Each structure stands twice: as C-alpha cells, then as structure tokens.
Chains A and B, each alone.
Chain A
Amino acid sequence: AQTVTQSQPEMSVQEAETVTLSCTYDTSENNYYLFWYKQPPSRQMILVIRQEAYKQQNATENRFSVNFQKAAKSFSLKISDSQLGDTAMYFCAFISQGAQKLVFGQGTRLTINP
C-alpha cells in the first residue's frame, strides 16, 4: 500500500521569506502523480501544483515549485516570497496511474507572519 509522510506538523516563517515543506512517499509503482494541496480556513482543498512521475523536470507554478527526487521518493514544495495568504494547511498527495484514490499525508500547518 502506498503511504505519504509529511514530517513537519507545523512551520512558521516571516512574510517574503522562502519556505520548503517536505514530503516523502512509499510505492512500488513506476507511474504515478504527486500533488500539493492547500487547505485554508475556508476548508476548500486547492490544488497548488502537480508532478507526473515520468517527467524529470520539476513542476513550477509562479511562486511555487517542487523538488521531485524519484529515486529518493521525495517531493518537497518550495514557496518563494511567501505571502500572508499562503497561511494554510498543506497536504502532499499521491495517486497511481489509472487509480481513483488519492493518498494524503498528514499535512503541514504553515503560518506566514507579518
């Protein structure tokens, strides 16, 4: 069974700083997808960034980028120039190709301080 581990329950940084959230996963699959979701107090899970395992190039979306290390089964999220609106729970998620079930990590509560 696949598992996703986020080792940082909470993180706190100052506005405009760069922060990196860690995620490791365990799978025997070769084709899969990885995601970072953000859940603000409004409760809605918002897709931040996605990565296809077969692509070596790290995904980037504006201030958000990932460091995908397939051999190490690591998928960290870097937020540059952090903003107050980035304050939220962040979840790392995994899904095998052809599957219908997302496997989530336990989440990291990120606080951006003014």
Chain B
Amino acid sequence: KAGVTQTPRYLIKTRGQQVTLSCSPISGHRSVSWYQQTPGQGLQFLFEYFSETQRNKGNFPGRFSGRQFSNSRSEMNVSTLELGDSALYLCASSLDSPDYGYTFGSGTRLTVV
C-alpha cells in the first residue's frame, strides 16, 4: 500500500516568487492536512481538506492557500515568498477520524533565498 507522497522533495525559490507543493494521500483517505515545521516554531497546522472542502485553517497569512481535488490529491500554494517561509512542509492523510491517527509524507523542504 503506497504511503503519502509529497513532491517535490526539495525546492529553492527566490523572495517574491510563488510555489506550489503537491500531496497524494493514501488510497481511500479523504482528509488531507498540511503542517509547517521550523526549528523556531515547531510544527504548526496550516489547513485541512476533506472532499474538496477546507474544514479548518491555522493562523497563517492569506499568502498560504490550498485546495483538494476530486481524487483527494491536495496542493498548497504560497505566494510572494518571504525568507521566513523556509521550512519543511508536511502533508498528512487520514480516513477522517483522529482515532486512526494521521499518516505523514516525507515532506517538501522549501528554501527561500
């Protein structure tokens, strides 16, 4: 059974650019969440999608957005990149019940220069 797949693994962008990250959940999982991981702030929740609808959103500026497609694949987009957006972005999928836990991907390491 394939796990959660995130692409690309690494990304280097320049300040002011925009970036799109992709996440393919485990087959059958309809919930996809995104987290930002930095040394200073730790793991912070960005947003969660279920059946193409955003159900929850963390405290991030509007430059951070996401969407989910009918096949449950999800993308997140960051516009007008800032140096502080450099982080590991993790995607997690679940069956839509927290008691099963969440399965994470290996993340996308974004570096903004």
Q: Contacts A100-B48, A101-B58; is A47 near B102 (CB within 8 Å)?
A: yes
Residues of A in contact (CB 8 Å), total 25
Q: Does A75 contact B (CB under 8 A)?
A: no
Q: Closest CB-CB distance, B35 to chain A, in whole Å?
A: 8
Q: Which residue of B lies closest to A98 (CB)?
A: B98
Chain B residue at smallest Cβ distance from A97: B98
Q: Does B103 contact A (CB under 8 A)?
A: yes
Q: How big is chain B's contact interface, by range?
A: 20 to 34
Q: Given the complex, which residues of B lie within 8 Å of A35, measured CB to CB? A: 101
A104 located at the interface, meaning its Cβ lies under 8 Å from any Cβ of chain B in the complex:
yes
Q: List B residues at the A interface (Cβ < 8 Å).
A: 31, 33, 35, 42-43, 45, 48, 50, 55-56, 58, 88, 90, 92, 98-99, 101-107, 109
Q: With contacts A102-B92, A102-B98 known, what are 10 further pairs, Cβ within 8 A?
A: A33-B99, A33-B101, A43-B107, A47-B103, A95-B98, A96-B98, A99-B98, A100-B56, A105-B42, A106-B42
A contact residues vs B (CB 8 Å cutoff): 33, 35, 37, 42-47, 50, 52, 91, 95-107
11 contacts between A and B (CB under 8 A): A33-B101, A35-B101, A37-B104, A43-B107, A43-B109, A44-B106, A44-B107, A46-B104, A100-B50, A101-B45, A103-B45
